[in-house]
């Protein structure tokens, strides 16, 4: 019998900073429009509307002495322990991020050496054949790392891959931009291993796309709203409405494409783990996905949500959520043997991807 290598998750880990920042902590902020003019609403009104739209009530910020690579290494250590894997047997370390290591006192991207090399050093891995590299792909970076790992594992080139998503978004957002309340810090990690089997398990399919003709700068780096100086630091800004419409238009179709590749329908899906950027947007995406299959009533339990207390941690959101579920730390959510889950994300680029996975 001819066996096929299947990519299966054997370990997960995450790092959730202990510093909790509630919406009330933004009451003393000076929020401005993009042109630097003040809003005609009070901060109480702005924050209340923000919470209604995004579902975010609090988020976590990294301690001042903690870098993205530090968080990634901690999450990676937990994933290795969870998998019971000898770290010297790792073939690849892929670290997804977008801003490198950003110090609390200096919003400058530091990416030399790569974060993956820093993580490898922190994990004290000596094996030179363990290849470590970074993957900047917007918020879908961790999911793209999973896709790349699947190719390595299925080809026989690798036996084990560690994929990490880590980010300190709190340090690159404009404090005068109300969208700064969305962003948070954290890290998530996953061990994928090649399993030789004829069972239809592990990663079943994937789909991805990049739209850059009109959409490339929906998320971009610009000076803060309170400055027009050429010397001002650059912060992340976004066209929220355009991003919302883009995601709502294209994410459901891409997820369906992934399911079609796997020969599955939406009724076969047990969980949808989607990037946590906006609670209303995610709910609308799920509803539109259901309509593609003529399903009007979809159980809310199919889509776990962490955004209300973790905010948007970019590349860390999906792997952190996966880790919390597999560790039994999310009420009413469970992934068991034979369950089919979707891992999906959308973000800067504009990039979208989705992975269809069946738990062994």
Active site residues: 139, 275, 312
CA 244 vs. chain centroid, Å, equals 17
Tokens representing 32 are 């401005």
Question: Do 244 and 350 contact (CB within 8 A), yes or no?
Answer: no
Q: Max Cα separation, the chain? A: 71
Q: How far is CA 76 from CA 202, 213, 270, 290, 316, in A?
A: 20, 36, 26, 35, 12
d(CA 46, CA 211): 31
Buried residues in 196-214 as b, exposed as e (16+ CB within 10 A): eeeeebbbbbbbbbeeeee
d(CA 138, CA 5): 29
d(CA 38, CA 58): 24
Tokens representing 359 are 């738990």
* Residue whose tokens read 């962003």: 183
Question: Do 299 and 270 contact (CB within 8 A), yes or no?
Answer: no
CA dihedral sign, ordered 253, 294, 359, 280: positive
CA dihedral sign, ordered 120, 121, 127, 128: positive
């Amino acid at each position: 019998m001819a066996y096929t290598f299947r990519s299966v998750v054997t370990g997960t880990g995450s790092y959730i900073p202990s510093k909790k920042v509630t919406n009330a902590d933004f009451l003393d902020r000076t929020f401005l429009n993009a042109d630097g003019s003040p809003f005609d609403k009070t901060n109480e009104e702005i924050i209340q509307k923000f919470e209604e739209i995004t579902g975010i009530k609090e988020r976590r910020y990294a301690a001042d002495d903690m870098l993205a690579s530090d968080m990634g290494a901690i999450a990676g250590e937990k994933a290795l322990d969870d998998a019971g894997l000898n770290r010297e047997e790792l073939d690849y370390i892929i670290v997804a991020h977008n801003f490198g290591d950003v110090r609390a006192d200096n919003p400058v991207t530091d990416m030399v050496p790569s974060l993956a090399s820093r993580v490898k050093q922190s994990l004290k891995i000596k094996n030179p054949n363990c290849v470590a590299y970074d993957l900047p792909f917007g918020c879908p970076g961790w999911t793209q790392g999973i896709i790349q790992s699947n190719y390595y594992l299925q080809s026989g080139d690798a036996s084990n891959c560690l994929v990490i998503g880590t980010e300190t978004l709190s340090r690159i957002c404009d404090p005068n931009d109300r969208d700064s309340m969305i962003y948070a810090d954290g890290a998530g990690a996953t061990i994928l291993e090649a399993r030789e089997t004829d069972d239809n398990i592990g990663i079943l399919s994937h789909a991805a796309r990049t739209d850059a003709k009109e959409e490339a700068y929906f998320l971009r780096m610009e000076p803060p709203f309170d400055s027009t100086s050429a010397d001002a630091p650059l912060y992340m800004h976004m066209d929220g409405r355009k991003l919302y419409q883009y995601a709502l238009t294209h994410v459901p179709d891409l997820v369906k494409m992934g399911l079609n590749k796997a020969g599955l329908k939406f009724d076969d899906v047990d969980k949808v783990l989607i990037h946590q950027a906006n609670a209303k947007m995610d709910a609308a995406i799920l509803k539109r996905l259901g309509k593609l299959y003529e399903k009007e009533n979809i159980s809310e339990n199919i889509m776990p949500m962490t955004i209300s207390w973790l905010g948007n941690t970019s590349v860390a959101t999906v792997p952190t959520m996966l880790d919390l579920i597999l560790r039994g730390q999310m009420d009413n959510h469970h992934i068991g043997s034979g369950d089919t889950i979707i891992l999906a994300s959308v973000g800067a680029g504009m990039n979208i991807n989705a992975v269809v996975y069946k738990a062994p």
